[in-house]
Amino acid sequence: MCGIAGCICGKGGNAVPDVYEGLKRLEYRGYDSAGIAAVTDDGVTVVKKRGVVEKLFPHIGGMKGEIAIAHTRWATHGKPSDTNAHPHVSGGICLVHNGIIENYCELKEKLSREGETFLSETDSEVIAVLFKRNYSGSLTAALIKTVKELKGSYALMVICKEEHKIAVAKYKSPLIIGYGKDRIYCASDEPALAGKCSEISVLEDGDFALLSEDGAEIFDSRLRPVARKKQPNRAVSAELSLGGYPHYMLKELHEVPASVKNTFSAFSGVESEIVKTFSGVKRIIVTGCGTAYHAGLVGKRYFESFAGIPTDAETAGEFRYSEPVITDGTVVVAISQSGETADTVEAARLALSRGAKVVAVTNSPYSALTRLACVTVPVAAGAEICVAATKSYTGQIAALYLTALAVAGETADGERAARLADMPALCAKTIENVNVSSLAHMCAKSKGVYFMGRDLDYAVAREGSLKLKEVSYIPSEGYPAGELKHGTLALISPKTVSVVIITDKALAEKSVNAVEQVLARKGKAAVITNVDDVEDDLKGRAEIVRLPRCDKFLAPLAAAVAVQELAYRTAVKLRRNPDKPRNLAKSVTVE
């Protein structure tokens, strides 16, 4: 989940500003600590500090080197601190690492018995010590020997004073190479290289590479020279601008209409392949983590309602270990914003190994999930920098809606698809008119917030609860409205807020019952609705957030805007930073 960046340039150049800028663009991957190392006239110089990347800036002004590597950390082993920050150094060898070394305790004990000392609590320092022992004049040879002893996942960059090169290795953690003018880059993800290069190569698991100012030599897991396809770097510098907004979360919420519109446009390129892949399908399993799983709950309803195909929705981490029953005719739909979510990628691998077809729904066309899948349904949301998902969630819902229609035999120019084509304007109207300020004030003063709904509204309730937890740190849960009386009522008090989402007129009366039960226990209640009767029944007794009317199957898009706005406004009232929630990172590449 950490972000790493590297750069090597010609004589007289300075790679330090490039990797610092790359770290700033990778901060969504972790911001517990950060560090930069460069090969200078004095050897390998390292600066690393606890906290956000910006804390490095006062310390790197005079730092200059033609080779530099950098790291922004999401802590797995060892608390956030200057000492635990990367890069790690051992005997002149310096490296950065993204991933987890599962056998680091065993290796550390062995190395300690043999006289090695360790400064940090990290698993990554073990790699540096191993590398030092294996180095005898060749970075590549030492790297190959070192990774043979590792169990787990890694994207590694290694430098030393003796060689004007960067050695890299990749296994189950993302790593790309970028080809710039007079310099070569490597990084965890495309945004780090925005504006730096127009072409990238995506490394495969088991790949090694040796980077020099002249280019990149790439070897596969059998140490055979290989050429990884050069592909366009889609990251655009302008996407990373705040564009006048105070936070990325608000900016990206306002980009929801474009996310839906662009996803709709992109679908035509894969529609026929989708129909072919789902031909003869008897069962669908939708899987993902966090927000992607919540989109999958909506997708489950689409596949069953439109195509009549039995569909299960499971969190990817549980799916992997539940001994899933996969029979002939099973399609697994794997959803991930980054396409690198470790549990989701491994769930896809398991499904493939058992004979299922895998369909990816992702915002990242060069990702590990994309390379595994039989076909990828594009989520054309653009770069999403805020850790909490907004426009990628609505893009996923649009992609799943179109996929379900295609499986049902309905074309992208049919009546139901046309309703989706109207949704960008409706989402824009929702953003413009939704007013959650009063409700955000209620939530900010509460001891707990409970989101509830039925059917598709329940799926959005789960996502609304997650959003609020992520960015405001207020305890929250999402429940089916009918489950309130089966235990959750014990938590209702004047210090709690219940937010009930009601967008299906046929279920409105049932959901209003839940509101009445809350009010009877002196709990505070709010309703997010586009049903007139609900507003009439509860006006003056519950806070009302009004949504525009739309087809019930597309109401999750409008309701999503409301709950995202609510989470954002609540966080701001509590003076939280919604873009960088504590303890979290966006791209969860560890299990």
Token pair 């789960």: residue: 462
The yes-or-no answer on residue 586 being catalytic is: yes
Q: Shortest CA distance to 34 belongs to which of 94, 97, 85, 99?
A: 85
Q: Residue type at 273?
A: E
- The DSSP letter of residue 20 is H
> Do 579 and 247 contact (CB within 8 A), yes or no?
yes
The yes-or-no answer on residue 2 being catalytic is: yes
- Burial code (b: 16+ CB inside 10 Å, e: under 16) for 286-313 equals bbbbbbbbbbbbbbbbbbeebbebebbb
Distance CA 335, CA 432 (A): 29
For residue 178, the SS3 value is strand
Distance CA 356, CA 368 (A): 17
Q: How far, in Å, are 19, 82, 413 from residue 58 at the CA level? A: 15, 15, 56
Token pair 């396809």: residue: 229
3-state secondary structure labels for all residues of 462-514: HHHHHHHHHHHCCCEEEEEHHHHHHCHHHHCCCCEEEEEEECCHHHHHHHHHH
CA 468 to chain centre: 17
> Do 570 and 446 contact (CB within 8 A), yes or no?
no
> Do 37 and 15 contact (CB within 8 A), yes or no?
no
Query: Which of these is catalytic: 165, 300, 524, 586?
Result: 586
Q: How far, in Å, are 73, 77, 123, 219, 278 from residue 85 at the CA level? A: 7, 11, 11, 29, 47
The H or E element spanning position 219 is strand 215-219
Number of Cβ atoms within 10 Å of the Cβ of 110: 14
Distance CA 478, CA 483 (A): 10
> Do 508 and 492 contact (CB within 8 A), yes or no?
no
DSSP 293-320: HHHHHHHHHHIIIII---EEEEEHHHHT
Query: Which of these is catalytic: 2, 197, 386, 427?
Result: 2
| Active site members | 2, 586
